Amino acid sequence: MRCEVVAIGTELLLGQITDTNSSWIGEQLALAGIDSLYQIKVGDNFDRMVECIRHSLERADAVITCGGLGPTQDDITREAIAEVMGVPLVRHPEIGDRIRKMFESRGRTMPENNLRQADVPEGASTIPQQPGTAPGLICPVGEKVIYAVPGVPHEMETMMQGTILPDLQRRSGFTGIIKSRVLKTWGHSESGLAELLGDRINILDAAGNPTIAFQASGIEGIKVRVTAKSDTQAGALALIAAEEDEVRKILGTYIFATDDESMESVVLDELRRKGLTLAVAEVTSGGLIGTRLSAIDASGEVFRGSIIPVAGSVRQSLLDVPPDEIGTAAAASKLANAVRIVFGADIGISTTGLHDVSTRSELPPGTTFLGISTPNSTDVEQVRLPGDRERIRQYSVISLLNYLRLKLQDMD
């Protein structure tokens, strides 16, 4: 069973919006056992849309179009699909009534333009899930099928999971289960991980199931995906669990999280388990750590708060750190200790480095200092982070949280 994805929207071609939908759809198709060999982007031009959909339908058994189902004049995916099918559009009053009720439930009057969303190619059906005003479409073309979903990510995902993926699996005749688990790592390159896992990958390649794949995720590290097939969900999960044990034996503490966990969620869970609280002094990271921690611990159960002491006078008045002392190991140590005391936390952490000072230094570019302070000791790690100031800020966040994660493990 082959399926192609056609992402629709001139804004995608202009780079005004990043096409994350196609990536997500491709991932879900792979997990469902559906081959996806092509992903295409096309602007809001009727002739080019028709051409792209036709070409995709010639190569594949199914096509998923994403976008162009809105109420405005440039939302012409319905018209393009009808042209490919060789049928007219038919207005469905019940869809219009449903859209009107959505507006009324929000205390608004539906613009008449929205009735365009009630137009369906003759012979097509709508997807039962409809989180927004745009209904998704299932459009048969002989033995093949075109699915149309909105470009709004959560609407698209709901329709994919609720209808399209099960329908594709039914059409393909695949009755087994494919499951996957992502092991998130930090501190090693993709090639380095592949080298460490080389022997294990060779064994799996010979067996064919489960499999291991890598995905570089920038400032979030490298993901190691373990995927298994079985007749049952329990069987697939058992295969994944056994392989995860093998991978963990090899990679050890490089693995910091699985699946939906993040570095900050893992750190907060460990602090909570130990009954410890945390405060942050952010110079290099400029508030990014506090943003990520507070998004999970909004009540302050573990994360007491953060200070962004950019001005020297602020470092002096709030943290008693000399105004001219910044971008050094000593500054990282003092900042971590001071913020711990100010917030009455068990642990204080800090970031500062060369990008925080204007004077030249003999240290390599990107040198950053990560501080961790407890009532018993204060430690500083020196790291060299790549890129411009913004990338260094981002990398300093996960570097510091990972440093703290490893320190917390040592406390056991």
For the stretch 264-277, pLDDT in tens is 999 999 999 999 99
Judged against a pLDDT cut of 90, whether residue 360 lies above it is answered with: no
pLDDT digits (tens, 9 = 90+) for 105-164: 989 999 999 999 999 999 999 999 999 999 999 999 999 999 999 999 999 999 999 999
**pLDDT tens digits, residue range 299-325?**
999 999 999 998 989 899 989 888 888
**272, 248: one domain:** no
Together in a domain, 247 and 282: no
SS (H, E, C) 189-219: CHHHHHHHCHHHHHHHHHHCCCEEEEEECHH
Q: Domain of 195: which CATH number?
A: 3.30.70.2860
Q: Are residues 68 and 129 in the same domain?
A: yes
Q: What does the pLDDT read at residue 404? A: 97
CA atoms within 13 A on the CB side of 148: 30
- Relative to beta strand 278-282, strand 303-307 is parallel
Question: Do 189 and 309 belong to one domain?
Answer: no
Helix axes 389-410, 288-296, angle to 10 degrees: 50
What's the CA gap between 111 and 62, in Å, rounded? 33
Examine the domain organization and report whether 168 and 195 are in the same domain: no
Q: In the chain, pLDDT over 90 holds for what percent of residues?
A: 79
Strand-strand pairing, 303-307 and 255-258: unpaired
Q: In what order do the strands lie in the sheet with 303-307?
A: 303-307, 278-282, 347-353, 367-373, 378-384
Model confidence pLDDT, tens digit, residues 363-377:
888 999 999 999 999
* Judgement on whether residues 136 and 272 belong to the same structural domain of the protein: no
Instruction: Fill in the DSSP letter of residue 178.
Output: E
Q: What is the mean pLDDT of the chain?
A: 93
pLDDT at 325: 85
Radius of gyration over every alpha carbon of the chain, rounded to an integer in angstroms: 26
Distance (Å, whole) CA 241 – CA 237: 6
Q: Which of 359, 357, 306, 361 shows the shortest CA–CA distance to 331?
A: 357
Please state, in angstroms and rounded to a whole number, the distance separating the CA atoms of residues 344 and 278.
9
State whether the Cα torsion 69-163-64-158 is positive or negative: positive
Cβ 355 vs Cβ 392: under 8 Å: yes
**DSSP for 105-135?**
HTT-PPPGGGGGGGEEETT-EE-S--SSSS-
Same domain, 274 and 312: yes
Structure confidence at residue 178 (pLDDT): 85
Instruction: For residue 147, give the nearest of 76, 63, 58 by alpha carbon.
Output: 63
Q: What is the pLDDT of residues 171-225, one digit of tens each?
A: 998 777 888 999 999 999 899 999 999 999 999 999 989 999 998 888 889 999 9
**Total domains, the chain:** 3
Same domain, yes or no, for 37 and 98?
yes
307 token code pair:
């200070």
Looking at the fold, whether 42 and 156 belong to one and the same domain comes out as yes
Long-range contacts of 388-393 (CB under 8 A, 24+ apart): 389/355, 391/219, 392/284, 392/353, 392/355, 392/366, 392/368, 393/284, 393/285, 393/286, 393/288, 393/355
Give the CATH number, domain containing residue 19. 3.40.980.10
- The structure's pTM equals 0.77
Tell me the pLDDT tens digit for each residue of 84-106: 999 999 999 999 999 999 999 98
Domain containing 230 equals: 177-258
We report the CATH number of the domain holding residue 373 as 3.90.950.20
**What span, in angstroms and rounded, lies between the C-alpha atoms of 363 and 383?**
11
Mark whether 273 and 383 lie in a shared domain.
Answer: yes
Tell me which of 241, 258, 275 is where a domain ends: 258
**Where a domain ends, among 225, 258, 291?**
258
Q: Do 293 and 406 belong together in one domain?
A: yes
Q: 181 near 258, Cβ under 8 Å?
A: yes
Distance (Å, whole) CA 356 – CA 310:
8
> Domain end: 214, 234, 258, which one?
258
**Residue 233 sits in the same domain as residue 301:** no
